[in-house]
Structure 1
Amino acid sequence: MVLQTPQQLIVTWEPLPEDYPLPDDPAENIQQPALAAALTDALGANDRIQPETLIGSNFGIVASVHRKIVVKAPDWFYVPQVQPIAETVIRRSYTPNLEGAPVAVVMEFLSNEDGGELSIRSTPPYGKLHYYEQILQVPTYVTYDPYELSLEVRCLQDQRYQIQAANADGRFWIPELQLFLGIWNGERLGQRTN
């Protein structure tokens, strides 16, 4: 399958070679694993996880751009339906449109690196915002700033992300999940947010 994007990018969906070295970057801070787990737990509590659902954290999402493999590992993502794999196979990465549905939601926890998660760099190495918007065309891209305790939700409209406004309760409707997303204050797994 081939996708032609407005910037004349030729995106194809090829399986990741078995010997392809995947990045093994550590989490930026101690909050990341707990935040990813809380997002997944919220989906489970609302019956949004099915056997065909794929939810991942720091897990490679693969596309080929101009025949070169590009892998980004979002802090958290949701795919509504993937093809099953053999029980003896361990999924190392996910290639949308080849292994199942496109990625529906990506969330990045902002780091203190300038522009990493909001980079629109349109040449290799592609910026994350550009990758999710123009290459993968993820419908909803969420960024959480743990330093400012703020959320930004971007939804794809006319092939560009538009920042969404929160409702009166400070929550954002995520259509792909059929749930609201907001910042929760309290203690979970020994960590406190306020």
Structure 2
Amino acid sequence: MSPTVSQPVITWEKLPPDYPLPDDPVDNLNQPLLATALTESLELAGCIQPEMLVGTNFGICATMDGKLVIKAPDWFFVRSALPTNPPQQTRRSYTPNLEGEIPAIVIEFLSETEGGEYSIKSKYPPGKWFFYEKILQVPIYVIFEPNAGWLEVYQLDPSRGYQLQQPDENGRYWIENIGLFLGVWRGTKTNRMGYWLRWWDEAGKLLLWGTERLQKEQQLREKMAQKLRDLGVNPYEIE
């Protein structure tokens, strides 16, 4: 006779104002760069609305059998979150179902320090995988190894848990809840040469970073100036 496995009781309670949040430093200097780059291109493309919440190394809370659980994903995206009260108050943490929707996607960047991204430990404190899959039930869980550039995208199946997804012919993954493709790109940004996670729209157009937009605008200005010169017009004399 197999033993009965009791399911944890999950509740959603607001973090007390005086609760001491851990202030652990990130274990890899690349992680803030990777996370900021993901958010930057979304912002510039107008994909982040006021009701949305994007967090980096920011605590997501749940209460498991009366004990508070806090996990800080390297990056996450919530489609609809309630505003803070008062509105100007700094958000210290986020409790889904109480303060808004479950995150549509959670991303973890692997580093040399084992962070338990694959941990299915169910006892308190639970592993990250268990927390995202069983407690939060995040629809999309992404694990990215920036040094080698490999990417794993898992989609939640209600009956089978996280299922590894296969990329399309371009090596990208369609993220339904954001309406964009996610994939790996190699290049340089902020003096870091290597692999990055990037967004592409439905037509396959890359969402640009700020520096890339400036470069593109400069190239367009130079082309226009050259056309004027070919017509015998000095572009600097045009008011």
TM-score, scaled to structure 1: 0.92
- Secondary structure at the residue paired with 1:182? strand
The alpha-carbon distance between structure 1 residues 22 and 121, as it changes in their structure 2 partners (threshold 3 A), is same
Q: Deviation of residue 53 (structure 1)?
A: 0.7
CA distance in 2, matches of 1:140, 1:162: 10
Q: Which runs of 5+ in 1 are unaligned?
A: 1-5
Question: Residues 42 and 11 from structure 1, CA distance in 2 versus in 1: closer, same or farther, beyond 3 angstroms?
Answer: same
Give the paired residue count. Answer: 189
Q: In the alignment, which residue of structure 2 is the partner of 1:162?
A: 163
Q: Work out the CA distance in 1 between the residues paired with 2:88 and 2:51.
A: 17
Counterpart of 2:185 in 1: which secondary structure? coil
Judging by fraction of residues, say which structure has more strand.
1
SS across alignment from 1:94: coil
Uncovered stretches (5+) of structure 2, i.e. residues with no partner: 196-239
Counterpart CA distance in 2 for 1:47 and 1:9 is 40
Task: Report how far residue 88 of structure 1 moved.
Answer: 3.6
Given the alignment of the two structures, is residue 17 of structure 1 paired with residue 16 of structure 2, yes or no? yes
Structure 1 CA distance for aligned equivalents of residues 93 and 6 of structure 2: 26
Higher helix share: 2
Query: 3-state DSSP class of the match of 1:132?
Result: helix
The residue matched to 1:138 in structure 2 has which SS? coil
Greater than 4 Å deviation, 4+ residue runs: none
Percent identity between the aligned chains? 51
Q: Does 1:173 align with 2:161?
A: no
Structure 1 CA distance, aligned partners of 2:38 and 2:69?
26
Cα distance between partner residues in 2 of 1:127 and 1:193: 29
**What's 2:199 paired with?**
none
Which deviates more, 152-161 or 113-122? 113-122
Residue pair 2:146, 2:194 contacting (<8 A) in 1 also? no
- Following TM superposition, by how much is the alpha carbon of 1:158 offset from its aligned partner in structure 2, in angstroms? 2.0
* RMSD (CA atoms): 1.5
CA offsets 1:91-116 (integer angstroms, 9 cap, x no match): 00000010111111100001223461
Q: Which residue of 2 aligns with 1:74?
A: 73
Counterparts of 1:7 and 1:148, CA distance in 2: 39
Give the TM-score, by structure 2 length.
0.75
- Write the distance in 1 (CA, Å) between the matches of 2:29 and 2:112: 14
Residues 92-101 or 82-91, more deviating? 82-91
The answer (yes or no) to whether the contact 2:53–2:80 under 8 Å persists in 1 is yes
